[in-house]
Chain A
Amino acid sequence: MEGTMVQKAAEQAEYPLFIPFIMAGDPDPETTIDLALKLEEAGAHILELGIPYSDPLADGPLLQRSASRALQNEMSLRRAVELIPFMRQRGLTIPVIAFTYYNPVLQMGEKYFFDQLKENGGDGVLIPDLPYEESRDIHNMAAARGLVNITLVAPTSGGRIEKLAGEAEGFLYCVSSLGVTGTRDSFPPEAYSFIEKVKKNSSVPVAAGFGISTPAQVKSLDGVCDGVIVGSAIMKKVEENLERFKNPEEKSNALDAVKSFVSSLISS
């Protein structure tokens, strides 16, 4: 089988991989498209496009607030997927992964969702509340369309690591610390040995996420894993600049503020 876009991007990129997450619809749908392009300009390799959900179990307060704002803008799974062609039209080339809770996918209809994702130029899906045991059908539906279903491993995965890592496609998402998404000042020291263990078991690149927010943290992971996923820290920048995003004269400065933050992470 031909490799998926995500697989190619992950394998051909210069390491470390940088995988940013943005919430579709926060601060507004148009800006989501702008942000996607800025992130590619800054050097992102793969984009995680977050879908806002009313009950985001795996998210901390920051992404909860971000999701609420997006929902107020009437963002939905369907609309988020429909943003991708606009990103592509404006030149986005990196793979886009829809980061969504399972329930919106169920409501849209699983097969229909994957058809739409494929048709609109998406490359994969990551469903944080769909563990390995429940994800067989999703996995096959994605594969049948040349899309990936990103697998997560957690510090508590223990004996499950081998099974999960063996399954992984594109890249393996290594949840670096217990708990929900959010920025953290430091990682527990065990995080590094855990990531190393995951890496030993994985045939695809391993990217660490959850809590990564500073250049120093990114640097400390250099050589430990193949890449990092940063979400809350980026959406925090968006939140800090909400007023500027609303003001047409200041919007491009706000976008640049996000871009320069991301550049500082990538170059570290």
Chain B
Amino acid sequence: MKTMYPDEKGRYGNFGGKFVPETLMYALEELEEALDEAVQDQAFVDEYHQTLREYAGRPTALTYAERITHYLGGASVYLKREDLLHTGAHKLNNAIGQALLARRMGKKKIVAETGAGQHGVATATVCAAMGLECKVFMGEEDTRRQELNVFRMELLGAEVVPVHSGSKTLKDATNDAIRYWVANVEDTFYLIGSVVGPHPYPRMVRDFQRVIGDETREQTVQKTGSLPDAVFACVGGGSNAIGMFHPFLNDDVKLYGAEAAGEGMHTDNHAATINKGTKGVIHGSLTYLIQDENGQIIEPYSISAGLDYPGIGPEHAHLAESGRVTYEGVTDKEALDALTLLTKKEGILPAVESAHALHLAFQEAEKMSKEQTIVICLSGRGDKDVHSIKKFMEKEEQ
């Protein structure tokens, strides 16, 4: 696994780093050391891959979306089926990797944040499977939006802590998870859910998610004889996207990230961090974020709780600045139209998060030739979203 960056300070070009209270510096150093040692140890790497295979259900399928392809009339459309992974989203890849590392470090208590509840469920799941104690911080607002996931986590034996501070959503859940970690750093492992946070988190989560891209590469070559022409993923914090993109960074493959444009890029209600944000520090990392002129962080908006984050992984900020990846905003409505189309044409109900990538991909596929191939990361399944999809559609009809 050779990568050019981050550098030793955890910088991706102008982004990244470690902007945390001194109390946490030792924990980050300890984590980095343990991680570097673990990934050099074949037994650890084997255990990670074996768990992915035998517990999580990897490799996930690469599905040719034949009816969609014909409907669009352009490039052949393939779907990387992270929705088929145990617990229904890509989040489990990372949760498994970090939980194995926590166990190796002798830490039996896990703390995590969650927005939509997908990362919380993934974390509660691996903790149950490995006998680890699990505490999940979740914004009070989100515990209401994602009631079923709260129950799932509790069923799995996790303690869900509702967060009442700030705007009571993902950013505040992350704040409180970090505050808890600061107070309990000596025996607690912070299992972060995306490629965000201070170094070495963005690198670690990327490396635990790149299995998505590694498999996609191999499967696409097997099925079509060559690499895809373009690859698409949705971007919240950016973990499914970076996992998908990373193995293609040095190839002639176009890469597209779909950000949540909510009610529209021209409105105040969006979560389009790269397109509308400015440079700053959030949750320990220098990156783009949505903030006011005084540097106060503004609560973003998206129909999808998983994309509703005011920051973005620092590596994405770098890839945007360098121009290697194109990031575009997709509105709630565009995402839901794409979701409906996929469901009707392929019998696959995607997560609303993933539906943002679908819209962008469908738009591009139409413009491409029949000889070309695209792959979309279907980061999760949509069962969790049925309720909010129904509400949105009822509102649209009025």
Task: Mark A residues whose CB is within 8 Å of B.
Answer: 53-58, 60-61, 64, 71, 76-78, 101-108, 128-134, 152-158, 160, 164, 175, 178-180
Q: Specify which of B9, B19, B294 is in contact with A102 (CB 8 Å cutoff).
A: B19
Q: How far is B281's CA from A157's CA once the two chains are assembled, in angstroms? A: 23
- Inter-chain contacts of A129 with B (CB < 8 A): 19-21, 281, 284
Contact B183 A179 (CB under 8 A): yes
> Which 7 pairs across A and B sit closest by C-beta, in order of nearness?
A179-B183, A107-B295, A104-B295, A154-B23, A76-B294, A54-B296, A156-B26
- Cα distance, A107 to B286, chains bound together (Å): 12
B25 within 8 A of A: yes
Smallest CB separation, B243 vs chain A (Å): 27
List CB contacts (< 8 Å) of B23-54 with chain A. Answer: 23-27
- The reply to whether A131 and B294 form a contact with Cβ atoms under 8 Å apart is no
- Residue pair A178, B184 in contact (C-beta under 8 Å): yes
- Within the complex, the shortest CB–CB distance from B7 to chain A, in Å, comes to 12
CB distance from A157 to the nearest CB of B (A): 6
Determine whether B74 belongs to the interface, using a CB cutoff of 8 Å to chain A.
no
CA A76 – CA B296 in complex, angstroms?
9
Which of B22, B178, B184, B296 is within 8 Å of A57, CB to CB?
B178
Q: Which residues of B contact A153 (CB under 8 A)?
A: 22
Chain B residues with CB under 8 A of A158: 26
Q: Does B121 contact A (CB under 8 A)?
A: no
Given contacts A129-B284, A156-B186, contact A178 B23 (CB under 8 A): yes
B183 CB contacts on chain A under 8 angstroms: 178-180
| Partner of A180 from B9, B182, B186 at Cβ < 8 Å | B182
Judging by beta carbons under 8 Å apart, are B21 and A104 in contact?
Answer: no
Residues 162-197 of B, flagged 1 when their CB comes within 8 A of A and 0 if not, give 000110000110010011001111100000000000
Contact in complex: A156, B23 (CB < 8 Å) = yes
Nearest-CB distance from B11 to chain A (Å)? 10
Q: Is the CB of A55 within 8 A of B175?
A: yes
Answer whether residue B293 sits at the interface, using C-beta atoms and an 8 A cutoff: yes
Contact B171 A133 (CB under 8 A): no
| A104 CA to B184 CA, complexed, in Å | 28
How far is B279's CA from A61's CA once the two chains are assembled, in angstroms? 27
State A60–B294 Cα separation when bound (angstroms): 22
Nearest B residue to A106, CB-CB: B280
Residue of B nearest to A64 (CB): B165
| Minimum CB–CB distance for B26 against chain A, Å | 4
How close is B184's CB to chain A, nearest CB, in angstroms?
Answer: 7
Q: Could you tell me the distance between the alpha carbons of A210 and B62 in the complex, rounded to whole angstroms?
A: 53
Q: Is the CB of B21 within 8 A of A178?
A: no
A106 contacts B281, CB within 8 Å? yes
Q: Which B residues have a C-beta under 8 Å from some C-beta of A?
A: 9, 17-27, 165-166, 171-172, 175, 178-179, 182-186, 278-284, 291, 293-297
- Pick the contact of B21: A55, A57, A60, A160 (CB < 8 A): A57
Q: Please, which residue of chain B has its CB at the minimum distance from the CB of A156?
A: B26
Return chain B residues, CB-CB under 8 Å to A71.
296
Q: How far is the CB of A176 from chain B (nearest CB, A)?
A: 11
- Contact (Cβ within 8 A) B23 A55: no
B186 touching A131, Cβ below 8 Å: no
In the bound complex, what is the Cα–Cα distance between A178 and B178 (angstroms)?
12
**Knowing A103-B295, A106-B281, A129-B21 touch, does A57 contact B26 (C-beta < 8 A)?**
no
A128 with B182, Cβ < 8 A, contacts A64-B165, A106-B279 known: no
Across the interface, B19 reaches (CB within 8 A) one of A107, A131, A157, namely A131
Q: Is B19 within 8 A of A154, CB to CB?
A: no
5 contacts between A and B (CB under 8 A): A54-B297, A55-B171, A57-B20, A154-B26, A178-B185
Asked whether, in the complex, the Cβ of B21 is within 8 Å of the Cβ of A58, the reply is yes
Chain B residues within an 8 Å CB radius of A54: 166, 296-297
C-alpha gap A250/B9 in the complex (Å): 53
Residues of B within 8 A of A108 (CB): 294-295
Q: Which residue of B lies closest to A129 (CB)?
A: B19
**A155 with B291: in contact, given A55-B171, A58-B182, A107-B280 (CB under 8 Å)?**
no
Minimal beta-carbon separation of B187 from chain A (angstroms): 11
Query: Considering the chains assembled together, what is the distance between the CA atoms of A160 and B171 in angstroms?
Result: 30
A132 to B171, CA, bound (A): 25
- Residues from chain A with a CB closer than 8 A to the CB of B182 are 57-58, 178-180
Distance in angstroms from A166 CB to nearest chain B CB is 15
> Chain A contacts of B21 at CB under 8 A?
57-58, 128-129, 131, 152, 154, 175
Looking at the assembled complex, report how far the CB atom of A51 sits from the nearest CB atom of chain B, in whole angstroms: 9
Specify which chain B residues have a CB less than 8 angstroms from the CB of A178 in the assembled complex. Answer: 23, 182-186
| Inter-chain contacts of B25 with A (CB < 8 A) | 131-133, 154, 156-157, 160
Given contacts A104-B294, A107-B293, contact A175 B19 (CB under 8 A): no
CB contact under 8 A between A104 and B284, given known A156-B27, A156-B185: no
Given A106-B295, A178-B185: 6 more A-B contacts, CB < 8 Å: A55-B172, A57-B283, A104-B296, A131-B18, A175-B21, A175-B23
What is the bound-complex CA distance between A134 and B284, given in angstroms? Answer: 11
Closest to A155 in B: B23
B281 touches A164 (CB 8 A): no
CA distance A47 to B52 in the complex (A): 54
